[in-house]
Amino acid sequence: MRAAAASMPMGLRTGIFLLSFVGFGTKAGIVPFHLWLPKAHPIAPSPVSALMSAVMLKTAIYGFVRFTFDFLGGGPAWWGYVVLLAGAVTGLLGILYALTEHDMKRLLAYSSVENIGIIYLGLGAALVFMANNAPVWATVALVAALLHALNHSLFKSLLFLGAGAIADATHTLDIEMLGGLLKRMRVTGTVFLIGCCSIIGLPLFNGFVGEWMLFRSFVAGSELPGILSAIVLPLMAGVLALIGGIAAACFAKLYGIAFLGRPRSLDAERAAEVAASMQAAMALLAAACVVIGILPGIVLNPLTVLARELLHTPALPEAVLPIAHTLPWIAACVAVLAIAAAGIRRIKRTVPTWACGLPALNSRMQYSSAAFSKPLRKVFSRVYEADRTVEVLYTQQPYFPKSILYRSVRTTSFEKSLYRPAVDAVVGMASRLRRLQTGNMQVYLLYIFLAVIALLVFMRFA
C-alpha cells in the first residue's frame, strides 16, 4: 500500500487523508463526531467501559497513525493544522462538557474525549514537523502522542474500574449523592486519587510525561522557518495548558465531592470496601501509573524506537532525555521532604468542623458538584448555552417560598445544530425520490423502456 500511495496524485492522497481522518476520528471521538461516546460509555458495565476508553479508542488512533504516517508518509503542512485544530477543539470542548457532568461515568467519558483531543494535538504537531522536514521533532511529537495514548489507557481504565467499585459499594454513580468515601473505602479512594493525579498531569504520575513531551515539541515548533508554524505551535502549548487547568478543576470536583467531606446519602454512608480482587486490579493499574511517572524511560525507549522506525529518523537529540533523568530525583526529593514534614506533626485531637459557632453541620451544607463548577461554568457560559428554569412555589408572603425548583440544562448540542439538519436534508431528498415509486407496473416498464432508449443514444454518441 505504501508503494501505491507514493505514486498517487496529491488530490487523491488528500481525499484519503480526509476520509480516514473523519472515519477514524468518529471512532476515536473527535468533536463533532463524538456524540456516541458519552452515550455508550456510561451504559456499559465498568470493566467494559474501561476497555472501551482504554483500548477501543486507541485502535482508532492506531488506524489514523497507520494511514497518515505509514501509508501516506505524511503530507503538506495544512494536514497538520487541520489535525491540530481538531485536537484543540476536541480537548477544550471535551473537558468543558466534563466539568458540568455529575454522573461519574459520563464525566469520565467526556474526559476521554478531551484526552483524545490531546493525542490528536501531538499527531498534528508531528505532521507539521514532518511537512517542514524536521524528522527529529516529528518523532518527539509522535512519541508524545503515543505515550499519552498508553498513559490514558492506564489511568482511564483505573478511573472506570474505580467508578465500578463505587457503583458496587453505593449503588449510585451520581456524585451529588456521594461523599466521604475515602474514609469508608480506603484502598479504592487512594488508587482513585492516583488516577485523578495522573489524568490531570501532575508530576510524578504518568500523565505528566506525555504532556511534558508535547509541551517540549510545541516549544521547539518556534524554530521552524515558516512564520505560521512558528506562531501556531507554541500557541498550542497555551491551549494544552488551558485544557490541563480545566481538567484539574474538573477532577478536583469529582474527587472532592465523591470521596471527601460528609456523605450526602444513606448509600454513601453505608459504603464498604469492595472485594479484594477489585482492589488488586485497581492497585496494579495505579502502581503502573506511578512507576511510569517516576521512571518514564521504561516506556519511552521502546516507543522512541517504534516512532523512529515509522518516520525513518536517525537519532533523538539529547534535549528530550533530561526528563527521564530528572523525574526520579524530583520524586526522591519530594518523598523525603513529605515524610519529614509529615513526621513533624502530632495530631492531638479530632474536633467537629467549624461552623461559625452554629449547631453542627450536615451534609447538605457542603458544596455540591454543581456549585463547585459554577464559577467556571459562568465564565464559559457561551459554550454551554444553558437553558435555565426556576419554579418557585409561594406561600402568602413572597419572601418565604415553599419550594424552589432550579433546573439548568446544557443545550449546546452538535446533534441539534449539525446532525439533525443533515439528517433532515437526506430524509427530505429521499422522500422526494419516493415519488418515483408509484406502484404502477406500467410506469416501471416505462422506466426500463426509457433506460434502453437512453443507452442506445449514449452508445451512438460515445
Are 38 and 57 a contacting pair, CB within 8 Å? no
Grid cell 439538519 in the structure block, residue: 421
Cα 274 from chain centre? 27
Nearest to 132 by CA among 75, 90, 175: 75
Q: Which is nearer to another protein, 340 or 433 (CB)?
A: 340
Using rule CB under 8 A, residue 365 touches another protein? yes
Q: How far is CA 95 from CA 26, 226, 242, 439, 446, in A?
A: 18, 31, 10, 53, 58
Is position 260 an interface residue for another protein (rule: CB under 8 A)?
Answer: yes
Kindly state the cell numbers that stand for 383.
459554550
Site for another protein in 178-197 (CB under 8 A): 180, 182-183, 186, 189, 193, 197
Among 47, 73, 256, 297, binds another protein (CB under 8 A): 256
User: For another protein, which stretch binds (CB under 8 A), given 56-64, 159-167, 240-248, 288-296?
Assistant: 240-248
- The maximal CA–CA distance of the chain, rounded, in angstroms, is 102
Determine if 345 is a binding residue for another protein (CB under 8 A). yes
410 Cβ neighbours under 8 A, 6+ residues apart:
97, 100, 384, 385, 386, 387
CA–CA gap between residue 166 and residue 195 (Å, rounded): 14
Q: Which one of 8-16, 58-66, 83-91, 253-261 is the stretch in contact with another protein (CB under 8 A)? A: 253-261
Contact call for residue 358 and another protein (CB under 8 A)? no
Please provide residue 36's backbone torsions phi and psi, each rounded to the nearest 5 degrees: -75, -25
User: What distances in angstroms separate CA 436 from CA 174, 205, 424, 433, 441, one per listed residue?
Assistant: 52, 63, 20, 6, 12
Of residues 62, 290, 374, 383, which one binds another protein by CB under 8 A?
374
Cell numbers 430524509 correspond to: 427
Is 117 a binder of another protein (CB under 8 A)? no
Q: Quick one: which segment of 48-56, 76-84, 251-259, 450-458 binds another protein (CB under 8 A)? A: 251-259
Instruction: Single out the segment in contact with another protein by CB under 8 A; choices: 4-12, 50-58, 231-239, 409-417.
Output: 231-239
Q: How far is the CB of 107 from another protein (least distance, A)?
A: 15
- Rule CB under 8 A: say whether 367 interacts with another protein: yes
Q: What is the spatial distance between Cα 415 and Cα 188, in angstroms, rounded to a whole number? A: 36
281: its cell numbers:
486490579
Binding another protein (rule: CB under 8 A), the pick from 312, 349, 382, 435 is 349
**Which residue of 6, 171, 222, 446 would you call a contact of another protein, by CB under 8 A?**
222
- Which of residues 45, 245, 421, 428 is near another protein by CB under 8 A? 245
How far is CA 185 from each of CA 43, 105, 260, 274, rounded to the nearest angstrom?
24, 19, 11, 8
Instruction: Name which position in 252, 283, 290, 306 contacts another protein (CB under 8 A).
Output: 252
- Is 266 a residue that touches another protein (CB under 8 A)? no
Q: Least separation, in Å, of the C-beta of 239 and another protein?
A: 8
**Using the 8-state DSSP alphabet, how is residue 398 labeled?**
T
For residue 313, the minimal CB distance to another protein (Å) is 21
Applying CB under 8 A, which of residues 67, 81, 372, 384 lies at the interface with another protein? 372
Q: Which of residues 290-329 bind another protein (CB under 8 A)?
A: 322-323, 325-326, 329
32 upstream amide cis, omega within 30 of 0:
yes
**Whether 212 contacts 292, CB under 8 Å:** no
81 belongs to the binding site for another protein (CB under 8 A): no
- Count of CB atoms situated within 10 Å of the CB of 64: 23
Q: Assess 248 for contact with another protein (CB under 8 A).
A: yes
Please give the single-letter amino acid code of residue 296: P
| Residues from 428 through 447 that contact another protein (CB under 8 A) | none
Partners of 393 in beta bridges: 403
Of these, 9, 11, 352, 357, which contacts another protein (CB under 8 A)?
352
How many whole angstroms separate alpha carbon 271 and alpha carbon 183? 10
Of the candidate spans 61-69, 79-87, 297-305, 363-371, the one that interacts with another protein by CB under 8 A turns out to be 363-371
Among 375, 401, 421, 428, binds another protein (CB under 8 A): 375
Rule CB under 8 A: say whether 238 interacts with another protein: yes
Q: Does 354 bind another protein (CB under 8 A)?
A: yes
Residue 200 near another protein by CB under 8 A? yes
CB of residue 216 vs another protein: minimum separation in angstroms? Answer: 7
CB of 145 to another protein, least distance (A): 17
